[in-house]
Structure 1
Amino acid sequence: MSRFDPRGKANRALLAGVSEYDHVAPDPQGVNGQLPAVRHNRTSLEDALHRGGVFGAGEVRALASPTPDDFTGALRRACREARGLLLLYFAGHAVTSTSGSELHLQMRTARVLLGHGLPGSVRFSEVLGELAESHAERVVVILDCCYAGNAAGIWHHLDDPKRRKHKIQLLMSVQPNRCILGGDADAATPFTRELTRVLDEGGDVWLSRLYAAVKERMAAAKYKAEDDDPQRPQALAPPWDPEADVLLAAGPAVLPPPPPGVSWPRRLWELLTRARKAVTGSGRTTLAALLALLATGAGGYGILALTGDPGPCAPPLELRVLTDPDLEPPVRAAADAYVTSDANTTGDGCRRSGVTVNSAGAAAVVTALGKRTDSWQQPREDDNPQRDIGPQPDVWIPATRADLDRVNMAAAREDRLFARLEAEAEPIAYSPVVLAVPKALGAGLEPTGRSLSQLRTDLERVDGKAELHRPAPELTDAALLATMGLYGEDADARAAERRLARAGRPEPSAARLLCALPAEDAVDRHAAALVPEFLLKSGIGCHSVTRVPRVAAYPDDVPGLEPAFVRVRWEDGDRDADARDDAVDRFRAWLTGDGGRAVLGEHGFRSATGERGLLAAQEPPAGLAGSVRPAKAADPSEMDLTLERFGSAHGPGRVLFLLDSSGSMAGRWDGSSGGPGILKQTLPGLGGEDEYGVWAVHGTGGRTHTELLGFGTHERPDAERALGRAGVRDAEADPHGALLDALAFMRERGTDDEQPQLIVYLTDGEDDGRLTGKALDEVLDRAGGDAGVPVVMVSLRNSGCDRGRPATRIAAAGRGRCLDVGDDLVPALYDEVARTGSGVE
């Protein structure tokens, strides 16, 4: 692939900016709000591309808040017409699937439904498919939306047997799994604002230069995404191959406005700006003459405009710090305080170093430092920690020293390492992992001296509607340590996971979890959350909301957070080793000294030794203990094992569908609301690795069912055809016998692993007379005993899930759900199946 100059070719640019939405909050199906800043995005980028000289007359088309049909129609047209460069730009709302494997671009008519419904959205994988099949030689996609960074993963997983996707390059406004702020009505959003400024600087603007310049400008401006995260643009994938670059602009520079407070004549400002460009590459004599000519009229600012000299201080060395997502806000606060401190200032008033802090999923970092240091130094298209995690760190601050042991255990099995880790002996601070309970429920719990399992049982006793929430354990160490307590020594991981709140994808950090709970007042009042204690003192950086106050219960079997300071030395990274060592040593000394302790104390951390008192010299806030007895230290092998068990409990699942096929179902059989039609609509929640089968339930003799679909893995069309062949039988049904058979069948398949399992029984309830007395008790005992399989009872009657009904009691015994036509039945049943399966979520 050669460097691509598209001038003179048939190029197309399609700019879709969705600033107005038909459905917005507080509409329960609405998106988060209108995006007036996107109007500026659309117009400013359109103007910049017209000025850039790459796209000719009629080759740039802007779509103002299109519908999905408007967007896809315009996209197909651009794909047909482009022969050179095809540029696609999207700004607006976007959401990901529960698994993060799909990005949904939300157009003007977008709505968000319960379950998997996202009408009014366009799948990004489908957009990529259209672009890959286009006639264009090169395609550049620019996304300015929430979760834009997830597009890179979708590109990597796109099925591309013809190898056409490689002509597509991506520029994304934010890192994966991050939301950005919507801006206001007065200016474009930060990413597009800086993008257009770079395009307007004049001269040749190649994609590689555009990405580097925008990234540098956004870092310098310290733009923030939601939750006070830094907003860092991404690309697929730097470093750019010089032979694969694309020219995006080659026009004259657009003059910037004079700086605030400067009032000299416009003509002089133009002269200064053009003079600076004119002397680029000129000799010192020419520059001196111009300075002498302009100094009198332009003053000191004229000299600065020409020379770009900010003063006597050289650019400081930049330290790169990597940490756990839960620790990123306090570590960044500490880094910011250090950068401006006397410890980081020379006698001349210059900064010695800067500090950039970023976070990434804890499990991914352990894997990268233990097994992928070669790829971190030399990224590949399919293995790029620089893209997936961040730049090579100088300092790593994991939430527990056990992570360092996990890295060393993995690294011991590698032939060659490209990074060496040197850890300080003592942790920086301490914060226990607590059960944050609504204050109204806290009086019913013993705050200390109880295991997490006991606290959970106590909570359910105090409040029958209590919910337990936890962030994603593969992303934060606090969530992983809490999961160790949830599973216990012998607990069934599947059963433990089923006792957590029913929700979609777990939140990526404890702060995000605490931000999300107040979205529904009923949930907030009954929700307990497993989070680091420091968040209950320092608060969280989400938008201001009224939330239920929480107090802490301290499980004595969950290790706490003990952040460690780890120096990372990279092979062949010795060019500035002395200066970098000095910068790291200064930062470490400050962070572990009075300065760092003061900042961490403000954020709610405790002493790493002794009685673990709060670092801040004050009384503990209400609901927190003055001192705590730390639980046992985190064990690296147990952490790895818990992650494996978590993966199994959420991995490929097993679902057995029982379809009442007795004669009374005749009136509830055909169409999308009939029994087979309802089950068909749940199949997208199952993937190619999930095992499932369908039984037709009929007969009251020795055999209570026949097999419609054998138990195993299936292609979805095969399963749909099997359901399509199903018919009503001239017979009654025996739900007692069928459920006992199903529970026994699934128990046999779950004895050797912890994969998630589910039984779904869909019926009209006409044969509930066989679920009374001893027969019902037998089913309840089996479902609530050691079968270990949740049962979802689906009744096609309005009253099928009323209190005391057999379906309600069976679902409760098996920790499942009872659904009837009074519920939003199909989406609710789909959610249950998708939680067990691994299909489209």
Structure 2
Amino acid sequence: MPPYDARGEANRAKRHRAVLIGVEHYEGARNDLPAVATNLRLMREALTAEHTGMLGPDDLVEVPPDGDRAATVDPLRVRAALTAAREEVDGLLVVYFAGHGIVRPDGSDLNLMFTDSRVTRDRHHPFVDTLSWRDDIMPELRYARADWVVVILDCCFAGNALWAFSPAAGQNFALLTAAEPGVEIPPGDPGTGTEFTAALHRLLTTGQGEPVTFTRIVTGIRRAMAPYKAVDGHPWIPDERRHGDDVVLALAAGPEPPRQPPEDSARKGPTGRWLRPRVPALPHRLLPVLVRRMTRTTALVLAAAAVLAAGGTWYLLGGSGDVVCASPLELRVLTDPDLKPTVQKAADAYPRRDAHGCRTVGINVYDAKATDAVSALRSSSLWQEPPAVCPASGTCPRPQRDVGAQPDVWIPAAGSAWQRATAAGAAGGPGGGEASASTGRNVVELERLGSVAYTPMVLGVPDTLLQAQSLQTDDPLSDIVTGLQAVQEVEILRPDPEVTEAALLATDALYATSADGHASTVEQGMAEALRPMPSTARDLMCALADGTHNELEDRAAVLVPEQTLAQFNLSAGEAGRPACATEALAHRVAHYPSDVPMLDLPFVRVTWDGADRDTAAREAAVDDFYEWLTTDRNAQKCFTDDGFRGVDGGDPAPPGDDSVLRAEDNTTAVRERIPTTGPDADASASLNDTLSRYRGALGPGRVLYLLDNSTSVADKRLWDGIGGAKDLVARSMGSLGTRDSYGVWTAAVAPEKPVTQLVKLRPHGRADVRKAVADAGTAAFHARIGAGLGAALAALRDDPAVVEQPRLLVLVTDGEDFDGVGQKEQAELVTDARRAPPVRIVTVSLQDGACASGRFGDRLAAASGGRCLDPGDDIAAELAAEVAKAGTGDAE
């Protein structure tokens, strides 16, 4: 599908708009940002430029208005501008922000700051007069009528917005951030603007030969920012998320400015890259005047350069003569999120230039969730032919949106991903043939050429915990975990298996460690320890290092690639240590499970049916890039510097002297020689089953509320009002979605009945259930707690079709009728609570006593892995958090 073009014939009549927000002046402790005024001017020029701009001057809304630099910018005014744009724009909507950004201590909840914004000591509401990206801006734009929404954030911690990027299903939405998560950026120069926006202006106004799309902007802005450093010396890498195909942000401007050949060492930049000299564009009306003042020879040189430019070629007026460079062949390399930083570094180092110093191959590296990449390559025709109608599930597979452009090369983390993508009998694999319209058909050949590097999966255990050296290698994960847990409390963590192949391989082995064999037991335990689960191994280690999970960090054993563990083991100041690493993170020793396959980073050539343009040149470029990655010392160093093991005759090479694995911090943490763990056999069926179990374990859930509605609850004023039983239940339902099954039963019934079904256990709309709860009354009977618990447990388990599903029983009582449950019945119910499939029981006691150690509520919680909450807890918040572990409403 071609990129969306607001100036195209089909969209020209629609309403387009840009909301430009710039906050220059701040009250209180925040410094002013005088570069913001220049930023707004640059964006105004770029978006409305006569030949390249996508918008007209009347399409701009500026806060504050142009020329009013001293104006106070308040969040209400910005919110009003966004609301108006959400309702009125049906074409292209661009939102740009320049100013201060701030996040919570754990890196969550990016807030955009305005003139009177301030920070308080209230840990629940630390920011005043700000706008939360997660709670204010993203929800506002998620329901915009616009065909395309593009947001650009030029502020500190802009990348943290990526964690709460949640467009509506089917919405075209792109987010470009000035830097990666956790990175602060310099304030910029008042005369030229911030480095990020200045580079963005150049890209939007000097696009060469073809329109400037969002994907081209991403590649260009990363290249432009590579020579710069962010605050504290961090690499300055803009980041992005895109939900949709692509969108044009500027039209072509004509010939591209000259490139500098490598022979001219005087122009070499601070990072060793060749910088392109700035050649200002000359207005056509000035050329005759300038030519009249030049010599005949100079005029002829300019004329020759103009001819070359008109022909679409690169040109350069060098000291020894003119050099003409053709546009390089572009290779698109798709990789796993765990590998992206290293593969990008290798691609940037790829040295292919011709005798004149012109680059012959350009490499564009991008990543996608491992599951999305596999699904897209199995249904490869959907890249060109997305389904016209979504299936009943409402989920439309769209590779351009979920993955990106059609790749020429795929470097997944492990051969298991390649096995799943080429599995026989599936679209996208040998023998797949035709498939349904929703799954697509096979239009690619995936040729595995070999591995570019290796790294084994390890269980990283803090060296402060007791661990048996005999379990460091050659034992299955279950034995290692059992040995650790036998002598101390240990939490096993791994990243989201939807996102990286490493986490999926780890999860496959991890489910075998569950005592009851259920994935839901493993996943709910992890969710209780750390929620939401970080996306990548690096994100997981960063979360443990940020200082807000100190107690968890001390007992967390992490399933991550060896190279990630090795990097985070490095001491402060050591080259290669991640920017987010802190002294709060313990040094970890690697255990090598025998049943978790090694990551072998296969290089896969992707050949598309009918893609005949430049076929021979493209094949040669792919071969050359592979050969360089696997044999060139500088290429391999890109991987070994990041803790990977190099390639030695197709096998993992022992770490060299300059490897991170040989650093002093890792000499006792990692093993130099390790066994190769495959996968030699086809692992696709096992991993597909694991993925299915994982998805089932995280919802939709089954939640049943059992309410004590006896008259004693009403007499104690615990039934109605704020903080009463009905209010607590209604408020906790905010985490339940339309796909969850939930019900409300009452336990004060006549002796011949176990319960009254106030709301049946099935999917509902929340409003109807809340009304039923609000209208519920008490009954003149004792609450039959024992009978109600037994019936509720049976009902929650009465769904044999879905074994891996979160199940939660919430008992709300004043505690008085607990005394009516005899010791024998209590013992039977505690035994029932341990049965499979697991049901977590959360007891809410509205009076003290029921949750004391050894009491019935405490025993139910211990047996089921649940909780017992009493007035000593923040019941409303804690109950909502427990329901969120089973419900999918927050995810919707």
Question: Please, what TM-score do these two structures have when normalized by structure 1?
Answer: 0.79
Query: In the alignment, which of 67, 76, 81 is matched to residue 69 of structure 1?
Result: 76
Query: In the alignment, which of 710, 713, 716 is matched to residue 665 of structure 1?
Result: 713
- Partner of 2:777, secondary structure, is coil
- Indicate if the aligned counterparts of 2:497 and 2:503 stay in contact, CA closer than 8 A: yes
Q: CA deviation at 1:551?
A: 1.0
Distance 1:328 1:125, change over 3 A: closer
- Partner of 1:600, secondary structure, is helix
Query: In the alignment, which of 475, 478, 481 is matched to residue 453 of structure 1?
Result: 478
**Paired residues for 1:692-707 under 5 Å:** 692-699=742-749, 701-707=751-757
Instruction: Letter of the 1:73 partner, please give it.
Output: A
**Paired residues for 1:337-486 under 5 Å:** 337=349, 339-340=350-351, 344=352, 346=354, 350-375=358-383, 384-409=398-423, 410=426, 411=428, 412-415=431-434, 416-424=441-449, 426-443=450-467, 446-464=471-489, 466-486=490-510
Name the residue aligned to 1:536.
Answer: 565
Higher helix fraction (1 or 2): 1
**What does the per-residue CA deviation read over 1:275-327, in whole Å, with 9 as the maximum and x for residues that have no partner?**
475588999999984835999xxxxxxxxxx9655763735433322111112
- Partner of 2:667, secondary structure, is coil
Name the residue aligned to 2:199.
Answer: 194
- Indicate if the aligned counterparts of 1:48 and 1:199 stay in contact, CA closer than 8 A: no
**Paired residues for 1:488-499 under 5 Å:** 488=512, 491-499=517-525
Larger mean CA deviation between 592-601 and 391-400 belongs to 592-601
1:527 maps to 2:551: no
Instruction: Letter of the 2:523 partner, please give it.
Output: E
Distance 1:35 1:237, change over 3 A: farther
**What does the per-residue CA deviation read over 1:469-503, in whole Å, with 9 as the maximum and x for residues that have no partner?**
21110111110011111222982121221232523
**What does the per-residue CA deviation read over 1:1-32, in whole Å, with 9 as the maximum and x for residues that have no partner?**
874899999997533346899999xxxxxxxx
1:727 maps to 2:727: no
**Paired residues for 1:506-585 under 5 Å:** 506-519=533-546, 520=548, 521-539=550-568, 541-546=578-583, 547-585=585-623
Q: Distance in 1 between matches of 2:212 and 2:652?
A: 50
Query: In the alignment, which of 330, 347, 362 is matched to residue 318 of structure 1?
Result: 330
Name the residue aligned to 1:616.
Answer: 656
Distance 1:829 1:288, change over 3 A: farther
- Indicate if the aligned counterparts of 1:37 and 1:189 stay in contact, CA closer than 8 A: no
Larger mean CA deviation between 232-241 and 102-111 belongs to 102-111
Q: CA deviation at 1:606?
A: 3.5
1:601 maps to 2:613: no
Instruction: Letter of the 1:474 partner, please give it.
Output: E
Instruction: Letter of the 1:657 partner, please give it.
Output: Y
- Indicate if the aligned counterparts of 2:89 and 2:145 stay in contact, CA closer than 8 A: no
Instruction: Letter of the 2:760 partner, please give it.
Output: G
Larger mean CA deviation between 532-541 and 56-65 belongs to 56-65
Instruction: Letter of the 1:789 partner, please give it.
Output: V
**Paired residues for 1:149-168 under 5 Å:** 154-157=167-170
**What does the per-residue CA deviation read over 1:749-770, in whole Å, with 9 as the maximum and x for residues that have no partner?**
2564312211111222223324
- Partner of 1:456, secondary structure, is helix
**What does the per-residue CA deviation read over 1:564-603, in whole Å, with 9 as the maximum and x for residues that have no partner?**
1111122343332232222222221222225244443333
- Indicate if the aligned counterparts of 1:376 and 1:392 stay in contact, CA closer than 8 A: no
Name the residue aligned to 2:739.
Answer: 689
- Indicate if the aligned counterparts of 1:690 and 1:712 stay in contact, CA closer than 8 A: yes
Name the residue aligned to 1:132.
Answer: 145
Q: CA deviation at 1:656?
A: 0.8
Where structure 2 has 5 or more consecutive residues not aligned to the other structure, the ranges are 1-5, 51-55, 66-70, 254-265, 268-277, 303-313, 390-395, 435-440, 569-576
Q: CA deviation at 1:375?
A: 1.5
- Indicate if the aligned counterparts of 1:104 and 1:123 stay in contact, CA closer than 8 A: no
Instruction: Letter of the 2:643 partner, please give it.
Output: G
Distance 1:558 1:700, change over 3 A: farther
Instruction: Letter of the 1:413 partner, please give it.
Output: G
Name the residue aligned to 2:672.
Answer: 626
- Indicate if the aligned counterparts of 1:50 and 1:56 stay in contact, CA closer than 8 A: no
Name the residue aligned to 1:28.
Answer: none
**Paired residues for 1:252-271 under 5 Å:** none
- Two-structure CA RMSD over aligned residues (Å): 4.9
Q: CA deviation at 1:815?
A: 0.9
Distance 1:197 1:591, change over 3 A: closer
Instruction: Letter of the 2:378 partner, please give it.
Output: G
Instruction: Letter of the 1:142 partner, please give it.
Output: V
Distance 1:537 1:607, change over 3 A: same
Name the residue aligned to 1:741.
Answer: 791
Q: Distance in 2 between matches of 1:747 and 1:662?
A: 26
Larger mean CA deviation between 565-574 and 86-95 belongs to 86-95
Q: Distance in 2 between matches of 1:330 and 1:780?
A: 51
Q: Distance in 1 between matches of 2:252 and 2:378?
A: 39
Instruction: Letter of the 1:55 partner, please give it.
Output: P
Distance 1:11 1:613, change over 3 A: closer
1:328 maps to 2:340: yes
Name the residue aligned to 2:688.
Answer: 640
- Indicate if the aligned counterparts of 1:114 and 1:827 stay in contact, CA closer than 8 A: no
Q: Distance in 1 between matches of 2:792 and 2:38?
A: 57
Name the residue aligned to 2:803.
Answer: 753
Instruction: Letter of the 2:152 partner, please give it.
Output: L
- Indicate if the aligned counterparts of 1:93 and 1:146 stay in contact, CA closer than 8 A: no
- Partner of 2:422, secondary structure, is helix
Name the % identity: 32
Distance 1:588 1:153, change over 3 A: same
**What does the per-residue CA deviation read over 1:724-767, in whole Å, with 9 as the maximum and x for residues that have no partner?**
12222333324333222222222222564312211111222223
- Indicate if the aligned counterparts of 1:22 and 1:110 stay in contact, CA closer than 8 A: no
Q: Distance in 2 between matches of 1:834 and 1:172?
A: 27
**Paired residues for 1:161-310 under 5 Å:** 172-174=175-177, 179=181, 181-187=183-189, 191-197=196-202, 209=212, 211=214, 214-215=217-218, 217-223=220-226, 230-231=237-238, 273=280, 275=282, 277=284, 289=296, 291=298, 309=317
Q: Distance in 2 between matches of 1:566 and 1:655?
A: 45
Q: Distance in 2 between matches of 1:658 and 1:23?
A: 51
Q: Distance in 1 between matches of 2:674 and 2:455?
A: 10
**What does the per-residue CA deviation read over 1:651-700, in whole Å, with 9 as the maximum and x for residues that have no partner?**
31101111121233221122231111111111121111111111112258
Q: Distance in 1 between matches of 2:365 and 2:673?
A: 30
- Partner of 1:312, secondary structure, is strand
- Indicate if the aligned counterparts of 2:833 and 2:864 stay in contact, CA closer than 8 A: yes
**Paired residues for 1:101-116 under 5 Å:** 108=117
- Indicate if the aligned counterparts of 2:477 and 2:593 stay in contact, CA closer than 8 A: yes
Q: CA deviation at 1:417?
A: 3.2
Q: CA deviation at 1:705?
A: 2.4
Q: Distance in 2 between matches of 1:835 and 1:378?
A: 34
Distance 1:470 1:105, change over 3 A: farther
**What does the per-residue CA deviation read over 1:360-391, in whole Å, with 9 as the maximum and x for residues that have no partner?**
11111111111034415889997643343233
